[in-house]
Amino acid sequence: MKKSSYIGPSISRYQFEGLKNKGWIVEYAIEVYKRRPNIVALMELDIGSRFQKVVVKSFGWRDARAPFISPFKKSRAEMAWDATHRLMDAGLPVPKPVAVYTARQAGFIDLNIFITEYIGKHQKSSRVFESEIIDFARKRDVAMKIAEIVSATHKAGFIHHDFVKDNFLVSDADSRSVFLVDLTLVEQKKKMTIAERMEDIAKLNLCSCNLDHDHEDCLWLYFILSYDSENAENILVHLKKSIQKLQKARKST
Ligand SMILES: Nc1ncnc2c1ncn2[C@@H]1O[C@H](COP(=O)(O)OP(=O)(O)OP(=O)(O)O)[C@@H](O)[C@H]1O
Ligand SMILES: [Mg+2]
């Protein structure tokens, strides 16, 4: 049975107690990015004896059965902590992990919190792609940068399992600077098939053509070229299949 654990620099006692309460996080946050199922908030914490802007993610339950299996499993905060270190070691642009806390009672998870460095002002890449003001060239550059990150993730032997546009953050200061977040589901694999890689990519939903027909300014094509230009034709065929499969699955649910 697992025990409560905290890894990270010391946090002032007052703030540490506060972090256990989601209402306190919302009240004292500089900005709340998300409220459900997880609270994600920008906060200034007295951590490691200095005030620092950090992003606090306090996980909520998605699945009613999850609390019952938790005495023997890592918390999602602990999984995110492990994955973030591994991806950082592989040279990927992920926000630096600062601390992780899992509180348990008789092994059952009461709360679990993951704290990372603040990457600065940014936009979710979905906002960039949807924007009517941003021109195509910039969208293309962001899509190609995302492809580089996805390709490096796969080459390092990881499947992300949640490559959606919202999990790529584009820095306001420099649109070439893109960060990958939401690493709870990351899986390390010794070998991965092209179908597994394409399944990981398909959810990105970069162009409404779904690779069904040729047209100008297709973000999927730029993505493929940046992901693996040498095997672009083969990738195109497999990615198209994965997108179709995903659409079918969505229609049937
Ligand atoms: N280190 C960071 N610096 C700045 N902003 C961040 C950082 N981490 C997260 N954010 C902001 O918080 C938002 C939500 O974060 P994240 O994707 O990790 O949580 P989530 O979407 O709730 O996770 P899940 O998909 O597991 O529900 C991001 O889209 C981003 O705007
Ligand atoms: Mg997310």
Give me the mean pLDDT over the 127-156 stretch.
Answer: 97
Asked if pLDDT for residue 71 goes beyond 80, the answer is yes
pLDDT tens-digit readout, 149-200: 999 999 999 999 999 999 999 999 998 899 999 999 999 999 999 999 999 9
- Whether 58 is in the pocket of ligand 1, judged by its Cβ within 6 Å, is no
Asked if pLDDT for residue 132 goes beyond 70, the answer is yes
Q: Whose CA is nearest to atom 17 of ligand 1?
A: 182
Structural domains of the chain sorted by starting position, each given as residue range(s) with its CATH number in brackets: 5-117 (3.30.200), 122-251 (1.10.510.10)
CA 146 – ligand 1 centroid, Å: 16
- Whether 112 is in the pocket of ligand 1, judged by its Cβ within 6 Å, is no
> What's the rounded Cα separation, in Å, for the pair 57 and 46?
17
| pLDDT, mean over the chain | 94
CA 34 – ligand 2 centroid, Å: 9
- Among 96, 126, 169, which is best to mutate for testing ligand 1, by the most ligand atoms less than 8 A from CB? 169
Give me the DSSP letters along 36-84: SSSEEEEEEEEETTEEEEEEEEE---SSTTHHHHGGGS--HHHHHHHHH
The DSSP element (H or E) to which 115 belongs, if any, is strand 108-117
CA 163 – ligand 2 centroid, Å: 9
Confidence of residue 65 (pLDDT cuts 50, 70, 90): low
Q: What percent of the chain has pLDDT over 90?
A: 87
The pLDDT value given to residue 77: 96
- Whether 165 is in the pocket of ligand 1, judged by its Cβ within 6 Å, is no
User: Lowest-confidence range among 48-52, 55-59, 86-90, 162-166?
Assistant: 48-52
Q: Whose CA is nearest to atom 2 of ligand 1?
A: 118
The pLDDT value given to residue 61: 73
Per the CB < 8 A criterion, the answer to whether 251 and 173 are in contact is no
pLDDT tens-digit readout, 81-131: 999 999 999 999 999 999 999 999 988 898 999 999 999 999 999 999 999
CA 46 – ligand 2 centroid, Å: 26
